[in-house]
Amino acid sequence: MGAMNTKVIEAEYDYVKPASLDEALDILAEKENVKIYAGGTDLLVKLKMGADLGMDIMMDINGIEDLYGVDKTADGGLRIGAAEKIWNLETNADVIAMYPILSEAMHLMASVSVRNMATIGGNFCNASPVADTVGPCMCYGACVELKSKKGVRTVDATEFFLKPGVTVMEADEILTAIILPAPEENTGAAFTKMARVRPDIAKVSISCVIKRDGDAIKDCRMAMGSVAPKPLFLGDISAELAGKKMSAALIEETAQKVHDFVKPIGDHGTTAEYRKEMAHLIAKEILEKAWENSGGELA
């Protein structure tokens, strides 16, 4: 990277702030090189670091009422508007009660001031492998709702991400909401994030939601951050646990599978080998904790 000056934004572009979703979708359909501004905590950092985003128009979505709200769905789940701020969500009584590790993961993000700005939609659409809201959402079985002039579609959170910065979203689409299904009885969840100091982005994070049936696992979902080029849903490893009787041996076996499966990269300050070792350790911890939180006991 060349000389950079984070005091100003050097890129030049127009700014628009549509007042409705229809207006925003029209702009996306008709204009080229539009970038959405939600909280700006990823977008503006990139602009200031001199990234060439090819942005001709910055579209501010903060004036669109349809993108706000945390509402109960007909089936007892929750619909979270994409432009809701992380801080609003982590302190929302329904989010805390129904999806505790989503609230927990949000609380561990960045700092209060950043969370007052950042949105959940931005965390998803930025599509970083570290995105902290994504793992919990995947484990709770969330879908994302995408809208364009052509209509609406919902995509399972586990199928939304393709590679760093890239999702299945088309250029004319807006992520309008994250939709979470109703929590079930005897469900336990756990989240852990390892970082050097708190405001750091995660070196490794892991989320787990277990549905318990007596002393057996009815269903288990695990996801990890920062161990692959995209947020990683451990679909196969999780699925193998369904129907099995829970035990310390099963947890150890599963943690080893996680270790063998993940393909992290090394970067400044964290080697790939360290990330793999940590993956093993925290997978074990998270399975024990989620099981305990589901009301289960370890033989």
Partner 1 sequence: MSMHEITLIVNGKPQKLTVKSNELLLNVLRDKLFLTGAKYGCGIAECGACTVLKGDRSVMSCLVPAVAADGWEITTPEGLVVDGELNAVQEELVNKAAIQCGFCTPGMAMAGTACVRENPDADEDFVRDYMRGNYCRCTGYQAIVQAILAACEDAKNGKRV
Ligand X SMILES: Cc1cc2nc3c(=O)[nH]c(=O)nc-3n(C[C@H](O)[C@H](O)[C@H](O)COP(=O)(O)OP(=O)(O)OC[C@H]3O[C@@H](n4cnc5c(N)ncnc54)[C@H](O)[C@@H]3O)c2cc1C
Residues making contact with partner 1 (CB under 8 A): 5-17, 37, 40-41, 44-45, 47-49, 58, 60, 62, 87, 110-114, 116-117, 197-199
Among residues 24, 25, 28, 38, which is the contact residue for ligand X, using CB under 6 A? 38
What residue 122 binds from ligand X, partner 1, none (CB within 5 to 8 A, per partner kind)? ligand X
Q: Name the segment binding ligand X (CB under 6 A); options: 20-28, 106-114, 265-273, 289-297.
A: 106-114
What residue 237 binds from partner 1, ligand X, none (CB within 5 to 8 A, per partner kind)? none
Q: Compute the least distance from the CB of residue 75 to ligand X, in Å.
A: 23
Q: Name the segment binding ligand X (CB under 6 A); options: 116-124, 151-159, 242-250, 289-297.
A: 116-124
Nearest to partner 1 of 116, 148 (CB atom)? 116
CB 191 within 8 A of CB 294: no
Nearest to partner 1 of 9, 216 (CB atom)? 9
Q: Kindly provide the b/e burial profile for residues 198-227, where b requires at least 16 CB atoms within 10 angstroms of the residue's own CB.
A: eeebbbbbbbbbbbbeeeebbbbbbbbbbb
Query: Considering the rule CB under 6 A, would residue 118 count as an interface residue with ligand X?
Result: yes
Q: Length of the chain in residues, anyone?
A: 299
Q: How far apart are CA 292 and CA 188, in angstroms?
A: 7
Q: Name the segment binding ligand X (CB under 6 A); options: 13-21, 118-126, 245-253, 254-262.
A: 118-126
Q: Compute the least distance from the CB of residue 131 to partner 1, in Å.
A: 16
Nearest to 228 by CA among 138, 146, 291: 138
Nearest to partner 1 of 198, 245 (CB atom)? 198
Query: Considering the rule CB under 6 A, would residue 123 count as an interface residue with ligand X?
Result: yes
- The residues pairing with 205 across neighbouring beta strands, listed in sequence order, are 193, 225
Residue count, binding to ligand X (CB under 6 A) = 31
Q: How far apart are CA 4 and CA 41, in angstroms?
A: 18
What 3 state SS string does 6-37 have?
CCCCCCCCEEECCCCHHHHHHHHHHCCCEEEE
The position carrying tokens 């079930």 is 184
**Counting beta carbons within 10 angstroms of the beta carbon of residue 8, is it exposed (0 to 12), middle (13 to 18) or buried (19 or more)?**
exposed
Among residues 25, 110, 220, 278, which is the contact residue for ligand X, using CB under 6 A? 110
Q: Compute the least distance from the CB of residue 260 to ligand X, in Å.
A: 26
Of residues 260-279, those binding ligand X (CB under 6 A) = none
Nearest to partner 1 of 101, 180 (CB atom)? 101
280 by DSSP, 3-state: which? helix
Among residues 88, 92, 103, 126, which is the contact residue for ligand X, using CB under 6 A? 126
297 by DSSP, 3-state: which? coil
Nearest to partner 1 of 151, 269 (CB atom)? 269
Q: What is the DSSP letter of 188?
A: E
Among residues 28, 39, 278, 282, which is the contact residue for ligand X, using CB under 6 A? 39
Phi, psi for 189 (deg, rounded to 5): -135, 155
214 by DSSP, 3-state: which? coil
